[in-house]
Amino acid sequence: MDFFEAQARAKKRTSRLVVLFSLAVLGTIAAGYFGAIFLTGQLTQKSARTRDRYGYVQPARAPALWQPQLLAVVSLGTLAVISLASLYKWSEFSAGGSAVAESVGGRRVDPHTSDLAERRLINVVEEMALAAGMPMPAVFVLDDEPAINAFAAGLTTADAVVAVTRGTLEKLTRDELQGVIGHEFSHILNGDMRLNLRLTSLIFGILVIGLAGRGILWSLRGARVSSSRDNKNSGGILVAIGAVGLGLLIIGYVGYFFGRLIQAAVSRQREFLADASAVQYTRNPTGLGGALKKIGGLALGSSLQTSKSAAIGHFFFAQSFRSNFVGLWATHPPLDERIRAIEPTFDGTFIEPPQVVNIARESLVSASLAPAPTRSAIKPEDVLASVGTLTPALLAEAHQLHVSLPPRLIAAAHAPAEAPILLYGLLLDSADDHVQRRQLALIARRAGGEALHVLESLDSSLRDLGPAHKLPLLQLTLPALKTLRPSALAPFFETLDALVHADGRVSPFEFALQKLLVRHLTVSRAPARASMVQFHSFKAVADEIGTVLSTLAHASDRDSNEAYAAGAAQLPLLASHLGPLALTTDLVALDAALDKLVTASGPIKQRLLQAAAHVVISDGDVHIEEYELLRAIAATLDVPLPPWPA
């Protein structure tokens, strides 16, 4: 599926969700209003009774069904409670995907783990991230869950996590695991994660009314009312409080019932798409189908033991809790329907999984990792088609890229203490010994002598590193760098900047490395603050678009004017607004332009990337530095672009 189309559909689903949620809120308000009428009628009934002239008690008049003031009070009170509760839940998720994984008992996997199953999981996730050109997600395992399940969570690709249960690790082959992870990557690339978190926050806002009522009733469980006259008043108060608690419980769960129906309906629609995408990514329906069949053949299936899974049930690969109300709350389609959608000949027979798959005997060759095909010259349209997607060819290339990286460099990328030093090594000037000595002295002064010892151990591997391996290696360092404290991050950025400017100039690769790091690490620490769309007009960002195209034209190996014209021709609506080619490359101006363009709408980013691709690839001959600069620009715009073919 087209990346930009998928993002647009995610936004449409968000708008539809707001409408459905509004209807659920209106239902909650209506239940609260009629409940308030009933309660006030009961409380005032006794005092409103009168006696006729013969001494007989006359029944109180029934309360009016239309009470505008009461409706206003109930509406404002309900909206205030739901809004505050939803904002509270959203603030919990503002830390990103890690907060979600930890809330259900997830444990972050140590990249240096000696557990073969966990190492296999990390390899699969890393290869998919490399193939998609997106930041490497953090990986979590739910150790106490023997069922087969997984989920992806986060607000952006920069803070995304992938979590699997212990049962998924132990009972699935690599093919099956790859199918499950491909399913979760589909949710990441299709923009489903942010929608999932919004949905959870909104549902909690409705549920909190019922939770308040349950809390009130629970607080009265030990209360006892004496029969003495002195305690009659207190007994009446307790009854009134109990009535209020019961009313809130009923009202809250009425809204919650409909909220969960919305949650389930929105989730079910996306699961078939994610399954189809996973099969498209791997070109191996038996992998995903085998995982689903093993869920059907396992006694526990995909049901999690923690009660907290119900709140985020729509995040998971398969149904994480037993659905009530005849399946109306089911967040996933039935297993047999999902299997038949990818294997039409499925006969209904499930697979009883082994206790533990023998990973030591499992070969990567048997895991459907075909050799990467030889690709012809890249065309601009190929760039746009590859954005935000995965293909078997990209996965095979990513696998070859991953296995070709020196093990010592991968180990350094995984270690929080060594990952910054590895990036220092990528910036060392190999062509000018004088500049390199200055850089090494700078590292010793800022990072200490120990950093030089680590660099020395990395030196031989760094010398053999090809240009196409550098930014992919950067992707692998991101999970380790995200664990650095803010106090360590600032001096790290300062040292990088000093190394970049040690020779008095900034190369396209140096700009790309810095921009990718700052963007991903900044967003991952505050994903809820990720830029919102501010510009829908091409004319409003015409100058910034011109800056991007000019910078790429100067970096291109072609004639700069010709390259710039090739890109500008893709934006006919801006023909009278785009200025001429800038005289020189100004990476400072490019930095400012990208910071503004990241807030542009999807169609603007799509056309900009199309024009940028024509600047550097219109003749099919492109150098690695040009392409990596293009990748950095795309990544800054939150558009994942696959790496240069290894």
- Amino acid at position 214, single letter: R
Helix H or strand E encompassing 162: strand 161-165
Q: Which of 417, 630, 624, 632 is nearest to 514 (CA)?
A: 632
Distance CA 526, CA 281 (A): 30
Distance CA 626, CA 169 (A): 40
Distance CA 402, CA 210 (A): 51
CA angle 574, 579, 585 (to 5 degrees): 125
Residue 276 neighbours by CB distance under 10 Å? 17
Using an 8 Å Cβ cutoff, are 58 and 50 in contact? Answer: yes
DSSP one-letter string for 102-151: HHTT-EEPPTT---HHHHHHHHHHHHHHHHHT-PPPEEEEETT--S--EE
Q: Which of 210, 209, 219, 208 is nearest to 242 (CA)?
A: 219
Torsion angle of C-alpha atoms 366, 368, 371, 375, degrees rounded to 10? 180
164: three-class secondary structure by DSSP: strand
| Both tokens assigned to 104 | 């259900």
Using an 8 Å Cβ cutoff, are 490 and 148 in contact? Answer: no
Distance CA 530, CA 26 (A): 31
Give the residue numbers annotated as catalytic, written as ranges: 184
Helix H or strand E encompassing 273: helix 232-282
Classify the C-alpha dihedral 167-172-174-177 as positive or negative.
negative
| Both tokens assigned to 403 | 């296995």
CA angle 130, 132, 137 (to 5 degrees): 65
Distance CA 377, CA 397 (A): 16
Pairing of strands 138-142, 150-153: unpaired
